[in-house]
Structure 1
């Protein structure tokens, strides 16, 4: 009996040893990947020359304030040789930023983030062998936060480029960069999601990962287990300011398209459709007679745009673009931006409950675009008791800016208030019927069905949108 008891711990130890070995065997080993890829990863620092006179003026101080007193006003005291242009008697200061990048060609082309080198007067690239080379900015694209640099060197180590479209959620990925200036730091994690849209980032379908990313990692490569670059680490969402957050990388397919255009012409041309879109929520889906909430709802077709020329109409719901599903409205800009201007795109829409296919020639995204809509009261008014809203005709100036519609002057208790209408909204369409006048408005409202949601298109402070409207009786 005692001999049996003595044998039990040894058995447990053996089982645990086998279990640990199996777990270790199932985890990836990054050692060879890091050795092979690190030489092509670079550290990027920048220098910005700031005129001290302009800095003093910004603080409202006279330029002849003695150096010793400037630190009381938040001004750093420069040290060094008094004869140096950056010394106490100099007129310039230097500010440096730090980031990462990687070499994509043997003759010295380097990719990084635009925000790493933005407003830099000098860009320094430090290689794995500790060489420091001055880089030339070939081109930058703020919309995708990418920049292409060039250093004068030959036979440089390069990364192997991967196909980010083949990346799968749950796949292991590795980041190499310079967080806080610590060169060639390696972190690993998995792909959490693909095709993420971020605020003010309409043309990049970000890769979301749980890889630890910190300041200095920006512009560095994201590798798959084959040692291929599948993304460029760009942003982190965190409440702590550290890596305890969600990391985002620019897909490599998007980055290389941008890099090729920057190399060829120094700027990036993107496809442009010319629509204002919004999400299709459950209530809107019901009002349009859809089975599920999906697609991009066209709230406004921009005048003289490819969308207008191609036959898109307000109220169309785009479900597919060039064969790709559009689940969320944010999916559409990603797809359109990647289309070469001048080529035709297949656009599947749902219009008044029926499916249609349009072929639209994509244009070039303009530098700026927008519309300013007025909401002054028109001369003719009408009140609809079914909606509990007072509307008025648009005046001539308003019609020139926004076309047809009626302006909301007063919202009382009722369906209009429940739907969220406010004074100044311009109603342009209800239940698929265009509203050109108060008479049209009254006629359409009287014929609306009961106990179901119907779509209403409005323009609010220059932005067009659809809202669901439900009339109980």
Structure 2
């Protein structure tokens, strides 16, 4: 009897021990011993955050040095900030507040505002490429970048993209700390985020929160691609990185002040995937410009296809041709649309970049293009050189019928822009304003024709159809803009 009781006690102890130890043979042992089969254990799934806890302090220590302070200066005032400035009616954030969150009667007349003139940014390449928001640096004449190690640099504004609110800066430095870019398409509502800013004290400021909402469709059917967070509004964080729990940047922080009863202020984030597209377009221009051909190109959108008389929006549109390069020697001109290189059809500018990068010095390649609505073929010799013909001096100009107030470039403006000819935009209204042209832009051509005076602009506008293609230079970057005429 004693042995039987002891055996049962030992067996029960073994079962309990096996249960806690997780022996896979537990059920078979119990059955073999003559007992009833035990119910199968439910598989334990560790919570999502069990593998590794979020170490925000370590994240700040590692990536904080890559966050910079940005101050933009304008000619008419010392800085453009630090108070929020009203955003334009064509700004995507204005559309959100107008259609998704209408203002109250008491606050009518006070449009949403965004931080401009001062904010943060973050370094994405060791050689000084920096991302921030367009609001922070737009309309600036000089931009200063301060690092957490107290170094200061004058930055070159490479890109200001109003639709994505992304700006790209370049400083002259090497071996800089960088952040790690993530995938914003994987951002989920409710996940934890952290943002780092850089005020003027050369130290980081940090706020944390969750993703409140991702991209959405507005009542009019338009897409609002930005996602919303509940991180605390912090003036110097606008333009800084928004990190996920893995320490990857998934967005660029944007502070919007609505001045409405319903939404006093909100924090949004520009999806990093949008910024990556802007970086890719910049790299496209750099590759072609610095590669074996010597020109800048861009994609052809639907509006430009109509303005240029193309059968469909495809090809690589030439923005500029560098003197002394193979492109210049071949006779390529701004406004040409390259539709084929060799035997390969070109649908996007990136395809031309890839093929041009593979060309060896001395290689002769045929380009098929469309110029002034007519197809033509030219040959380019990689590594060849040539000089572009000089341009005539500008004449005085005034207001043109596109809604532009312009004047020929002065000597100082030619020296600063590196251009021999062009028309400086002093003011915009009507079609030009709707198309996104801004004061400070330089008008280079209309419908593939270089312009040097207001008289030329008026003549070309009179001959144009409903849409005209305008080549502009902004912050040393060129792009075509399609303007719908009255």
Higher strand share: 1
- What is the TM-score normalised by the length of structure 1? 0.41
Q: What TM-score results when the alignment is normalised by the length of structure 2? A: 0.40
